[in-house]
Amino acid sequence: MTQSIQKKLNDSALARWSAMVLIALMMLFAHMFVDVISPIKELIQIQRGWTSDVFGTYAGSEYLLNVWGFLIVAGIILDKMGIRFTGLTSAIVMVVGACIKYFAVSEAFIGTGLEAWLNSWWVAMPASAKLASFGFMIFGCGCEMAGITASKALAKWFEGKEMALAMGLEMALARVGVFVIFTISPRLAGIGGLEPSVVKPVAFCTALLFIGLLCYSIFCVMDKKFDKQLGAEAAQGESEEEFKFSDVINIFKSKLFWIVAMLCVLYYSAIFPFQKFAANMLQSNLGLDATTAADIFRWFPIGAACITPLLGWFLDKKGKGATMLILGSLLMIICHLTFALVLPAFPSTIIAFAAIILLGISFSLVPASLWPSIPKIMDKRFLGSAYSLIFWVQNFGLSGTPMIIGWALEKSNPGVAEQIAAGAEGVVYNYTLPMLIFASLGGLALLFSLWLKAMDKRNGYGLELPNIKE
């Protein structure tokens, strides 16, 4: 009986894995919303007049407020207020931002006084894109806040247990969201039908975010019970020593932090912004319609979803996290060079599939090894701030890269913007320059991954060691 009372909630495999699923579902629906418009880029160009330059600005807007310091505040809120308050807040913010974006692309927005006012300034960007970008910016604050909260929540519930596997499975489920949205978005939009529309996919994903909010609310009930067992009901603090703002300064002074942060920003800047343009890149290089191109690219996250949990298990049992970072960066370089140089010269769906699956493997290696390594190198009491500051640096790349890619597309494809403005369909872009930019980001990520492994070998951080101690 005494043994039963002393047993913590996370000692139950069913309880801790249920917590992981509830967190992962919220992140799954968030990732679906992030890329809901990506497979229908051509359609929104036609129906709302968004050029590639405009689309790039919209894509980068998700991270704009985070770049201007919101993520730093989010990390401090997380360490001060705990995972329940921060997670619920982030889920609510995502829903609000999604509703704004939905209204912006809907027919209800057309002809309103708000549209007229938005069209009265910065005429190079349509009113729908301006409002959608604003909503996406609000959503992005909630999404990134949810990301750091999920990482800290899993670190709490799986401490001393299958942490890398849990984080790997959470990421895998989120990757499945990309597969799902690239599959259903063109079909929900009705591409190929009589009245295709960009509205239905956005409305569907907005509804899913409400379900994600409900899932995290259920997790909060479980976490409150867990905190009671830990003797932390009064204040949801997860650390014995109170977080201080000076800890943020100490994190910024750490060379190791900047190596990890730069590796993160460079790698992810060649992944998430690429997702925004990938389907259109395949359309242009292979002469496909939007649905077929999206059906090819949707397999990218499936490789990651299948392999990430296995890599998490391997990291828990065997280690080798720093080595995986190097291999993942190498694979990404190969894939983007294939899209830049090989696919235009030899337009083949087989080559495209092979490169996409290989990129999915790369996307398994790096996140699966990177995020479980952070608790090894950062003090537990400011782990939330450490995650948030890494995400903050990452957001500079995620915000700026889509704008650079959109600009590069317009500059390397003169006359295409005019064709879109004239209502032309089936416009083809040359994606060589953008893909070379993505490949160069991968090359820089490789250099930082090599540096990180050298630092680990010299100082013994344990990045190559297993997470589970026998």
Q: According to the 3-state scheme, what is the secondary structure of 290-327?
A: HHHHHHHHCCHHHHHHHHHHHHHHHHHHCCCHHHHHHH
Altogether, the residues listed in the chain come to a count of 470
Q: Is 347 left (phi over 0), alpha (psi -120 to 50) or beta?
A: beta
**For position 191, what pLDDT does the model report?**
64
Give the torsion through C-alpha atoms of 255, 258, 264, 270, to 10 deg.
-120
Angle subtended at Cα 125 by Cα 119 and Cα 128, rounded to the nearest 5 degrees: 65
**For position 344, what pLDDT does the model report?**
92
**For position 281, what pLDDT does the model report?**
92
**For position 316, what pLDDT does the model report?**
73
Model pTM score: 0.74
**For position 235, what pLDDT does the model report?**
43
**For position 134, what pLDDT does the model report?**
94
- State how far the Cα of 178 lies from the Cα of 215, in Å rounded to an integer: 19
- State how far the Cα of 296 lies from the Cα of 284, in Å rounded to an integer: 13
**For position 330, what pLDDT does the model report?**
94
Q: Can you list the residues of the chain whose pLDDT is less than 50?
A: 1-5, 233-241
- Give me the phi and psi of 253, to 5 degrees please: -80, -10
Tell me which residue of 61, 90, 95, 97 sits closest to 74, measured CA to CA.
Answer: 90
CA atoms within 13 A on the CB side of 448: 22
- State how far the Cα of 95 lies from the Cα of 30, in Å rounded to an integer: 9
Q: What is the topology classification, in CATH, of domain 20-228+245-459?
A: Growth Hormone; Chain: A; (1.20.1250)
3-state secondary structure of 341: helix
